[in-house]
Amino acid sequence: MNENNENNENNENNEATRPEDRVAIIDGNVVIVGGALPLSSKEAAETAEPTIDPKEPPPKFPTTTAIILFILCAASFTTGVLYWYNSHYLPVKGTTSKLVSVVDEQPEQPEPTTPTAPTEEIEPPQGTDTGLHEEIPKQPEPPPRPYVEPMPEFAVLWAEYENEHIVARLAIAGEDFLTVQGAAAPQDWLTLADEVDLLLGLEHNMVVYAAAESAAQGILREYLDYDFFLKHPDLLFSTMYGDFDWEIFSFYVAPSDFPFAVAEHPSEDEWGDILEQFTIVSLYNTMLDVTQNDQIITIAAPTEVSPDLWYVLQARLLRQITS
């Protein structure tokens, strides 16, 4: 009796959980027309929606899974860094490393030097031309030296003395002295300064040197006597290209640093100052004026007192009187 009651309760519970079956027989087959098949208690538990107890804590994330994901991310990041480094810095076969090339291309560092105070650059005023941007014009080449037939007298002298360096003769106080240029002169000859070019015309100052203890030196020493000076106020200087008369305007004794031996053409102002010094130091007042247009000749010889002191006799070219 009790078992029947329990069976009835179970049937009632099963019928409560499934709808009423509708069965029909079609062509000898049993077909369910409506409703659903009855669910067993196991099926009902599996299909039922889960219920969440609010007091129960949420499920925890598995620790092992987190570690695995972290390792995978780290490996992926490391792989990316290595790939970027290999593509940018590691050398390819046959090439050099970019890192090495960058280091090699660095300029050499200069050695440290002691700092100096900066200097201020002075800029030229606006509108002035410094000339730095202009090219320096080339100096024109000198014209070719013309050939002038020397006087026949010198051809005879060259043959007689076997010396083609003879360029002039100086007649002073009744004595003649041969003058050479560009070569050593015998004891009693004179030497014309190398700066003098007779072919291009008479220079402002034609300097002629006499040797120590020579006959010319003795004559220059005689000019210390005023009476001797008055008796021999002029001289004759004959070159390969003509004869020229000269008037003595100064005689003095001077040290080696005095500008009596200036042979090249100085500036006009400088030459005027030098001429004034020649007349100031003269032992005698000859009353002859000397200008920058005058051509002069200087005969110099060392004194017996010291080789740094010189006898100096100077004359100007005789001026041509024109009517």
Instruction: Indicate the fold that domain 152-317 takes in CATH.
Output: Sortase; Chain: A; (2.40.260)
At 255-280, the pLDDT tens digits run 999 999 987 666 777 888 899 999 99
Going from N- to C-terminal start, the domains of the chain cover 2-43, 152-317
Looking at residue 58, its pLDDT comes to 58
Give 70's pLDDT tier (boundaries 50, 70, 90): confident
Higher-confidence position of 177 and 262: 177
For residue 283, pLDDT beyond 90: yes
Tell me how many degrees the CA angle 109-114-115 measures, rounded to the nearest 5.
95
For residue 206, pLDDT beyond 60: yes
Place of tokens 């300064």: 193
Looking at residue 106, its pLDDT comes to 53
Looking at residue 226, its pLDDT comes to 95
At 75-104, the pLDDT tens digits run 777 777 677 666 655 555 544 444 444 444
pTM for the model stands at 0.54
Cβ neighbors of 312 (< 8 A, separation 6 or more) are: 250, 251, 252, 253, 254, 258, 260, 298, 299, 300
**What's phi and psi for 206, nearest 5 deg?**
-95, 110
Q: Which amino acid is at 236?
A: L
